[in-house]
Amino acid sequence: MRQKRLPFSLVLQYVLLSSSLLVGSLTGAHAQTTEEDPRQAKLEKLRSVIDQLKGELDSAKDNRSELQKDLEKSESKISDLDKKSKALEKSLQNNQTQLIELQGKKEDLDTAKKQQLRQVNEHLNTAYRLGQQSHLKLLLNQKDASLVARNLKYFDYILAARAENISAANETLQALKVIEPRITQEQQTLKKNRNHLRRQQQALKNEQASRQQTLAKLEKTISNTDQQLKEKKKNQKRLQQLIERVVRVTGSIDAPINNQRITELKGRLPWPTKGKVRHKYNSQRVEGKIRWQGLFIDAPADAPVKAVHHGRVVFSDYLRGHGLLIIVDHGQGLLSLYAHNKTLYKTLGEWVNTGELLASVGNSGGQTQTGLYFELRKNGTPTNPDRWLKRSA
């Protein structure tokens, strides 16, 4: 029987009604998402504000400014290449581990195959020695009933054991068929990743050489202490402008209820990295004409930089004079700053826990020596980290 078709007008009404319901549900879901995370809008606004600020700060057109832009580009590329190289190294380690495991399994299977085939041969020889006699022949050839029973039982055991060993040997051979191509594939992947890593490392080496050339050109643009002082003051002003805008947009971030407030841990916060303090808070800088607003900690390249307390990342980018910089908002008006990093591992908006990896130590921002510059700010104003950190690094 032919099915009756609905009028087009009725179909159209149904489609329109379904669409309106779908839009309504999506709008409701969006409202619920916004309600669930009201800070998301703040983070998007902060992202926009930071981009605008960086554009303003980088708008100068003098020769040194162009060199600084070249330095930022070079150091950002070094960070990216370094991150990719580390990921490839980790992948290579996993490939190598997987290959070793597969080769170990293959060796075990080869050993099992030899043993099982030997057992199968032994059972076949035993059966042959028995003349491959049937149960009926054994009954007819034996006069002693007890001997007949024993031989039958032994005969059944031989047959069962032979079948079991043949089955096990077949399973082993099938497993070898599966594992051998996997080993070949893993070896090919390992070779490919090694070649890729070598290319990345060469690109990293080239970029580091380019950075050194840019640094040498920058050093020539500062010929006296007055110019050096002027540059340091500019860097401090840039950071201050950034902090002011971050504080203005984000406000205070409430920490989870089960997390201890940072003010309760004053004098007991962990150090952001291990090393000796080269420059203390408020110590003299550039012939005593300005002062350090934080600590400069000597540390080797690639040393881990860790969060001193739970909080949310409110800046993770390059800032002229401070290089690759991460800022974490811990609530209660407290921010922690980690500058001159080699690589950043966290992005804007991410929550981090105490001791969580944020970055790796480097010398970005035009530094000649590796180390971490660390600041704590209360309501946007620098505060002495010594009062907050544990006694020894």
Nearest to 138 by CA among 154, 126, 124: 154
Q: Where does residue 308 fall: left (phi above 0), alpha (psi -120 to 50 degrees), or beta otherwise?
A: alpha
If you average pLDDT over residues 338-348, what whole number do you get? 93
- For 93-104, the pLDDT digits (tens) are 777 777 787 777
Which DSSP state fits 362? Answer: B
**Which residues neighbour 295 within 8 Å (Cβ) at sequence distance 6 or greater?**
277, 279, 280, 281, 373, 374, 375, 385, 386
Poorest-confidence range of 97-106, 109-118, 136-145, 182-191? 136-145
Question: Is the separation of the CB atoms in 273 and 304 below 8 Å?
Answer: yes
Q: Is the pLDDT of residue 65 over 80?
A: no
> Beta-carbon neighbour count of residue 265 at 10 Å?
17
Q: Tell me: pLDDT of 25 over 50.
A: no
**What pLDDT is attached to residue 16?**
44
Six-digit token string for 345 = 């591992």
pLDDT score of 266: 92
Q: Is 359:345 a contact under the CB 8 Å cutoff?
A: yes
- β-bridge mates for residue 313, sequence order: 328
34/28 Cα distance (integer angstroms): 10
Q: How confident is the model at residue 88 (pLDDT cuts 50, 70, 90)?
A: confident
Query: Is 50 exceeded by the pLDDT of residue 336?
Result: yes
pLDDT digits (tens, 9 = 90+) for 183-227: 778 778 777 877 777 787 787 778 878 877 877 777 777 767 777
160 pLDDT above the threshold of 90: no
**CA dist., res. 189 & res. 191, Å (int):** 5
Share of the chain above pLDDT 70, in %: 69
Compare 390 and 202 and report the one with higher pLDDT. Answer: 390
